[in-house]
Structure 1
C-alpha cells in the first residue's frame, strides 16, 4: 500500500451527508458487530480470531494485550484494510453486501505510525475535509479548531516533514478527529508524546468523542491512558479476546495469569483449594490459609490480591475490624512513601506481598525490618 493510499484510508473520505449518517446510526444498535472473524497469513494462522465483539454508538472501549496479540490487526480489520473471514457489520450494514469504501469513510483510523503528506500541517488536516466535500468557507475554521485543540495551531504553516515525532503525532490525531467520524480507531495515540501532555491529549480525545457521540476503540500500551479513557476494555491474547468487561473487572478480577501480570496485579500467589462442609478452604503457598465465602471455579493455580485490599492490623488502626478478616504477619522489606499512599513490601514466609495502604489508615510510622500484621477480607481475593 503506497503513501497516498494509506493517507486516504487515514482520512476516511466519504460522500454521505452527515444528517443521513446520523439517521442510519440511530436506526442501528451497534456501530460495529463482529462474529467469527478470522485473519490468517501465509506465515501464521489465527493472527486474529474474534468470536464476538460489538460496540454501541458513543461507547469508549480500550484494547489491552501484549506485543503481537493482534491489536493493530483488529483496528485495520475493522477499518476494512485487512482481508478476513467471517461476518462483520458496520453502522448496521453487512460489510459483504455494502460498498466498503463508503463504510470505511464513516470511521477514522489513526495509525501507530505517523502518516502525513509532504505538505504543510494545515493542508494535511484540510485535505481530510476537502475529500469529504466540506465547503471551502468552513474548512479554515474547522482546521484551526482541530489544531488548537491538540496544541499544534502554531505549526499550521510548517512542513509536515519538519515536525518532531510528538508534533507529528498530535497533527495525526487532529486529522483523525477533524471530520467528526462516527467511529474512531486509535492505535497508540500517545506514542511519541511527551509524558507531561499524554494525559491532556487523551482527555481531549475523550471529550471530543463524547461531545460528538462518536464510538472509540483505543489501543494503548500506556495503562494510564486506558484508566483515564474507557470504562469497558477487552483483553487480547494470541488474536483472541480472553476477557470483555468493565475496566475495573479486568484490573481486579483478570481472566488468567497472563492478564493479571499484564495489568500489574500486585500479588499473584500460588495456591490450592479444598472443599469442606463450610465452603472452600484456600491454602496459599506462604502458609496462609483461609475460608473463602463464595464459589470457586476449580481448578485454580493462583490467588490474586490487589495491594489496596490490605490494611495494617494493629490496635491503633483507623480501619475497624470486620468478621472473617485474614491476618498475616511478616517483616517489612521496603517502604515507598508516596502522596497519601504507603507502598509496603512485606516478607511472609518465602513470599513477598505488596500492600498499598492510605497514609490516613496508619496512625504511626512503619519501619524497614519491623514485624507487622497485614489484614484483608477473603471477598477481595480472586482466583485464576
Structure 2
C-alpha cells in the first residue's frame, strides 16, 4: 500500500471516528429520547402514543392531564416496566439493545402508591443502595442524610407497615432519591401529604435534583406542585402530547380549550373573529368588541383571559397607561379574599368574568352588587 493510500485510509478512519463521536454527543445530550412510542392493551389501543418526547440533563418537566390520559403509563414505560412499540433511548443507549437493569438503576421511579417492604424504614431505604452495589460503609450516612432531608429520620427504626399515609409517602420519596439517580420519575409525590408540608417537600425534591444535575419528570394533579417545581410542561390527552412548552407559555397560551380548562384559565369566553384592514375585530359574548392587531391562528372559538389581566377602572385608582385598553362594565357577584389579592366575580350580561387584583387596588366602591368597570389590554387575550 502506498503512502498516499495509507494516508487516505487514515483520514477516512479519523473522519469516521469524529462523525461517530459527534453522533454520540448528539444522542447523549438527552437523558431520554422517545420516538413513535405506542402502548396498547387487549382492550384499548393508544393508551400511549408519543410522537416525540425528549428530556435533557437537569430539566424539570411536569406532566399535566386528566385522569386516564396516560401519565402513569408514560412513567412506567420510561422505567421499562411497560411493553411498548417504537424507539426509546435512555442516557444515549437504545433500550432494546442495552442492559435494562443497569439503565433502570440510573433512574428512579416513585410510584403513586405507597410501596414499601415489610421491614424497617432504614432497611427499605438502604435496600435501594444495596441493589446498586454501594459499599456498606457509605450506606448508613446516605440513608440518614435523605431521611433527615425529608423529615423522617425519627422513623428510621419504625416498621414500614406502622407508618401513616403521609409518613409512608415521605419514605417512598427518600427511597427514590437516595441513589442520586440521573433521571427521577415522580408520580403524584405530594399525594397523602398534609397540605402544610406539600410545598416544603416539593421544594426539597427540586433542590435535591438541581444539586445533583438530575432530570425530573413530575406527574401531579396538584397544580401548586407544578407551579413551584417545573420549568417545562407537557399536556397529555388520550395518550398524546397536545402541547409541550415552557410552563408559563402553557398556562398563558394554552393550545386549546381542553388545556385552558386543565390549567384553570380564569375566563374562557366564546368569541368570533372578523378580519379588517388593521388586524381583527374580536366579538365576545354580550356585545363586547375590541380590535386585535396580533397574529391569530384560525379558526378560533374562544378567547382566554387570565384573571390577573384585568384592572379595576375606578376614579380612585389609576390604570397604567396602555393604548387600546378595553373596558367592560358589570355587576359584582362575589368577592373572594386571598392573601394579598382579591378575586372578583363580575356579571357582564349572561357571562360571569373573574378578575384577580391586588388588595390595594380595591376601593370602597367595589362591593357586592356594585356596578364596576374592568379594563384589560387586548395583548393579554389568547385565542383558541
Q: State the TM-score, normalized to the length of structure 1.
A: 0.92
- 1:9 aligns with none
Distance 1:349 1:74 in 2: 44
Is residue 142 of structure 2 the alignment partner of residue 137 of structure 1? no
Pairs aligned (count)? 361
In structure 2, the CA distance between the partners of 1:26 and 1:115, relative to structure 1 (3 Å rule), is farther
1:206 is the counterpart of 2:206? yes
Q: Distance in 2 between matches of 1:205 and 1:25?
A: 29
Q: Find the aligned partners of 2:158 and 2:233 in 1 and give their Cα distance.
A: 37
User: Shift in Å at residue 26 of structure 1?
Assistant: 11
CA distance in 2, matches of 1:297, 1:26: 33
> What's the CA shift string for 1:22-66, capped at 9, x where partnerless?
xx9998100000011000000000000001100000110000000
CA distance in 1, matches of 2:225, 2:154: 25
1:47–1:239 contact (8 Å) kept in structure 2: yes
Q: What is the distance in 2 between the residues matched to 1:209 and 1:148?
A: 16
Alpha-carbon distance in structure 2 between the residues aligned to 1:113 and 1:333: 42
Q: How many angstroms does 1:364 deviate by?
A: 4.0
Quick one: distance in 2 between partners of 1:160 and 1:241? 37
Question: How far apart in 1 are the matches of 2:165 and 2:337?
Answer: 35
1:148 and 1:251 map into 2 onto residues whose CA distance is 35
Deviation at 1:337, TM superposition (A): 2.7
Assess if the C-alpha contact under 8 Å between 1:319 and 1:361 holds in 2: no
Distance 1:296 1:217 in 2: 32
Tell me which moved more, 333-342 or 127-136.
333-342
Is contact 1:25–1:31 with CA below 8 Å preserved after alignment? no
Aligned-residue offset at 1:175 = 0.4
Alignment of 1:78-117 (within 5 A): 78-117=78-117
Aligned ranges 1:93-242 → 2 under 5 Å:
93-242=93-242
Equivalents in 1 of 2:380, 2:293: separation in Å?
11
Distance 1:157 1:365 in 2: 61
Query: Which secondary structure does the structure 2 equivalent of 1:260 belong to?
Result: helix
Residue in structure 1 matched with residue 289 of structure 2 by the alignment: 289
Contact 1:335 1:368 in 2 (8 A): yes
Structure of greater Rg = 2
- Greater alpha carbon shift after TM alignment, 118-127 vs 96-105: 96-105
Write out per-residue CA displacement over residues 268-313 of structure 1, whole angstroms, 9 at most, x where no aligned residue.
0011101111211100012110111101111111100000000011
SS of equivalent residue, structure 1 residue 72: helix
Q: Any gaps of 5 or more consecutive residues in structure 2?
A: 1-23
Q: Distance in 1 between matches of 2:340 and 2:106?
A: 46
Which residue number corresponds to residue 268 of structure 1? 268
Q: Deviations over 1:181-200 (max 9, x none)?
A: 00000000000111111110
CA distance in 2, matches of 1:248, 1:116: 36
- Asked whether the 8 Å contact 1:271–1:282 carries over to 2, the reply is yes
Structure 1 residues 36 and 66, CA gap change in structure 2 (3 angstroms): same
1:251 deviation in Å?
0.9
Offset from partner CA, 1:84-129 (integer Å, 9 cap, x none): 0111110011112211121111100000011111110000001111
Does the 8 Å contact 1:25/1:57 carry over to 2? no
CA distance 1:262–1:183, change in 2 (3 Å): same
Alignment CA distance shift 1:248-1:323 (3 Å): same
In the other structure, the counterpart of 1:254 is 254
Residues 19-38 of structure 1: pairs in structure 2 closer than 5 A: 28-38=28-38
RMSD: 1.3
Deviations 1:175-223 (A, max 9, x none): 0000100000000000011111111000000000000000000000000
Which residue number in structure 2 is paired with residue 245 of structure 1? 245
C-alpha deviation, 1:363, in angstroms: 4.4
- Number of the residue aligned with 1:75: 75
Inter-partner Cα distance in structure 1 for 2:61 and 2:199: 17
1:267·1:306 contact (CA, 8 Å) conserved in 2?
A: yes
Per the normalisation by structure 2, the TM-score is 0.92
